[in-house]
Amino acid sequence: MSIIAFVLLRLSGDVAIAIAGEGAQQADIEAVRRNYGLDRPLVVQYLAWLGDALSGNLGNSLYFKTPVSDLVFAKLPITLTLGVLALTFALVLAMIFGILSAAFPNTWIDRLSLSIAVVGQVMPNFFFALLLIMLFSINLRWLPVSGSGTWQHLVMPTVALGYYVAPAFMRLIRASMIEVLSSDYIRTARAKGLPGWKVIGKHALRNALVPVVALAAVQLGFLLGGSVVIETIFAIDGLGYLAYRSITQKDFPVIQVIVLMLSVIYVVLTLLADLINAWLDPRIRVG
Amino acid sequence: MDATDTLPTARQLLLRRMRGNMSFLIGFGLLALIVLVALAAPLIAPYDPYAQDLLARNRPPVWYPKGDWLHPLGTDQLGRDYLSRLVYGARISLLIGASVIVISGLIGTALGLAAGYFGGWVDLAVTFIVTTRLSMPVILVALAVVAFIGGSLTVVILVLGLLKWDRFAVVMRSTTQQVRGLDYIAAAEAAGASTPRIILTEILPNVMPHLIVVATLEAASAILLEAALSFLGLGVQPPLPSWGLMISEAKNYMFFSFWLIAIPGTALAILIFAINLAGDGLRDVLTPSER
């Protein structure tokens, strides 16, 4: 993973020229190359970087001239907050409509939630974000257009980011709820006279959620990557916006660390999903 | 076989299922319409999509009080006819979708077929490569690579094609595994068929339906990614009329000229809707047993 992040960025352009700036003299470029150790073989560069990274030194930003780790860890909480908020929003939306449409399949409720899912699926999220800005900031003047700091700044980004992943959850919850609701133990629960909401909320939901957990882990990783677009639109001072700025400034040590960090988070999340699934469904633990 | 006289052939059954499936019909109808518009762009577009007319900037579309039929969808911030740009933009989106699934489909199918057919260490190696690929944030890596190489239509297609093969590989691997265990593969092996022959003529046709369904999903996702990259200024470069780029160029004017972002945004949504609908329909038509 770290190799790929490293090689990909090194292969895709002459870093020394990027640092020295366009139109720099050949001598300057050579000086930069020696200063940053870019004249060494790639393998040596990679091993040096990896050795530093493992001992906690992730290098310095070429643009900010400060350690990358300081930069990245300062921005990470904002992006994680946004990611978790968006995931929560998506899950709540999907639970409400997924359960409703599973409880009343092929009714107008089912069709309404299907249309909500379809709209979320087909709308580019940056376009949806701009529509939200038009509606809530320009026309209604309820929310600030961009920036970060107060909770109001996070409302539209959360909705824009969360609505994009909600359809996948809606479909999954609806499908697995319908499957669970047709199983024998649900019929037993109904037969012994439990009220409908209790059957759905207590007996069915727990089992219908098992596949959702795995998807949630994958989607959170996806949300963190996708927040590049949303953070850039709303000028939220998080990891995604930092990534975007670093990319436009060719600040490769920063990009390298952000890509690596998101990859590590993804791996940790997948592992976490397996553990939660084992806790939810004892059969997975044994088998 | 006398039965062929009375029983419908496989082809007839397929056609019958296609006719009975609403999402397939609507999705493909809509998609065919968009493809037609893209192909006939020079005939439909009233103006050159690159021709600027600085005296006619930000003209509203015809349904606005100030709009007129000279520019049915208005003009953009450089006075270019919006209908013409929209029609030519369809070409870019469709080209991106089609080329990306060809590249990623070839890579993913090769990997998935190999993993599913051979199993063992090949399977382990492919699974490792897929997991590694899955852990990389696609949009970030794509942005970074495009920024370093420089954006162009070709670069965007190559980058997305080389990144988006994961779903092909995962689906091809599991479907190949299922087909691999069937009796007719054992029969082909017993009959002395070579491995390439078994893979190409026995397995590939049977996993094809799944391949096509994945391809529609990936085409939609590639088109959205291109739009997002172009929106951030790191995809297709101006003056090409990419829909994502059109939204990006117009976002500073959206408070006064809302149609400038609404029109390409809606076009993107309709295209993605058509592809998704056609994909859903295809899945029902091609793999009716898994409905």
The pLDDT, as a whole number, for residue B3 is 47
Q: pLDDT tens digits for chain A (287 residues)?
A: 566 555 555 544 455 555 555 555 666 666 666 666 666 666 666 666 666 666 666 667 766 777 777 788 888 888 888 889 999 999 999 888 888 888 887 888 888 888 888 888 888 888 888 888 888 877 777 777 777 667 777 888 889 888 888 888 888 888 888 888 777 777 787 777 777 777 777 777 777 777 788 788 878 877 887 788 888 888 888 888 888 888 888 777 788 888 888 888 888 888 888 788 777 777 666 54
Contact A259 B144 (CB under 8 A): yes
- Do B38 and B90 meet the contact criterion of CB atoms below 8 Å apart? yes
The sign one gets for the Cα dihedral A19, A25, A26, A31 is negative
Secondary structure class of B250 (helix, strand, coil): helix
State the pLDDT at residue B169.
93
pLDDT of residue B101: 94
Residue A90's φ and ψ, nearest 5 degrees, are -60, -45
**Which pair of structure tokens corresponds to residue B143?**
């942005």
Beta pairing partners, A60 = A67
- With vertex at residue B164, the alpha carbon angle to CA B159 and CA B168, rounded to the nearest 5 degrees, is 145
- For residue B165 the two structure tokens come to 């093969």
The per-residue pLDDT for A285 is: 63
Give the model confidence (pLDDT) of B100-150 as tens digits. Answer: 999 999 999 999 999 998 888 999 999 888 888 888 888 888 888 888 788
Mutation for testing the B interface, residue in A1, A14, A111, A130 having most B CBs under 10 Å: A130
CB A49 within 8 A of CB A118: no
| Distance (Å) from the alpha carbon of B48 to chain A's nearest alpha carbon | 26
Give yes or no for A7 touching B (CB within 8 A).
no
A63 touches chain B (CB under 8 A): no
In 3-state terms, chain B is what percent helix, strand and coil (to 5)? 75, 0, 25
Query: What one-letter code names the amino acid at B280?
Result: D
Q: Enter the ipTM.
A: 0.82
**Nearest CB neighbour to B147, from listed A221, A222, A247:** A247
Contact B230, B248 (CB under 8 A): yes
Q: What distance in Å separates the CA atoms of residue A223 and residue A133, rounded to the nearest whole number?
A: 20
How many CB atoms are located within 10 Å of the residue B2 CB? 6
Radius of gyration of chain A (CA): 24
> At A95, which helix (H) or strand (E)?
helix A68-103
Place of tokens 């993107």: B268
| pLDDT of B144 | 84
pLDDT for the residue A22:
52
How many C-alpha atoms does A138 have within 13 Å on its Cβ side? 14
B228 class by beta-carbon count within 10 Å (0-12 exposed, 13-18 middle, 19+ buried):
buried
Inspect the interface and report whether the beta carbons of A127 and B134 lie closer than 8 Å.
no
**Which burial class, exposed, middle or buried, applies to A142 when counting CB atoms under 10 A from its CB (0-12, 13-18, 19+)?**
exposed
d(CA A209, CA A89): 16
CA distance A205 to A198: 10
Q: What is the pLDDT of residue B65?
A: 78
Hunting for tokens 């190409």 — which residue is that?
B200
Residue B75, phi then psi, degrees to nearest 5: -130, 160
- pLDDT of chain B along its 291 residues, tens only? 444 456 777 777 777 777 777 788 888 999 999 999 989 888 887 888 887 877 777 778 878 777 777 778 888 888 788 888 999 999 999 999 999 999 999 999 999 999 998 888 999 999 888 888 888 888 888 888 888 788 888 999 999 999 999 999 999 998 898 888 888 888 888 888 888 888 888 888 888 888 888 899 899 999 999 999 999 888 888 888 899 998 888 888 877 788 888 899 999 999 999 998 888 888 888 776 654
Distance from CA of A19 to the nearest CA of B (A): 12
pTM (two decimals): 0.83
How many residue contacts between A and B have a Cβ separation below 8 Å?
A: 111
Q: Check CB contact under 8 Å for B247 and A127.
A: yes
Of A74, A24, A2, which is closest to residue A250 (Cα–Cα)?
Answer: A24
Q: What is the 3-state secondary structure (H, E, C) of B85-97?
A: HHHHHHHHHHHHH
Cβ-based neighbours of B19, under 8 Å, separated by 6 or more: B25
Candidates B93, B146, B148, B164, partner chain A, best to mutate (most A CBs within 10 A):
B148
What would the two tokens of residue A196 be?
Answer: 């409908």
Measured from the Cβ of residue A155, the count of other Cβ atoms closer than 10 Å reads: 17
Q: Which amino acid makes up residue B28?
A: F
| Residue B85 · residue B49 · CB < 8 Å | yes
Place of tokens 């999954």: A172
What are A66's two structure tokens?
A: 């400060």
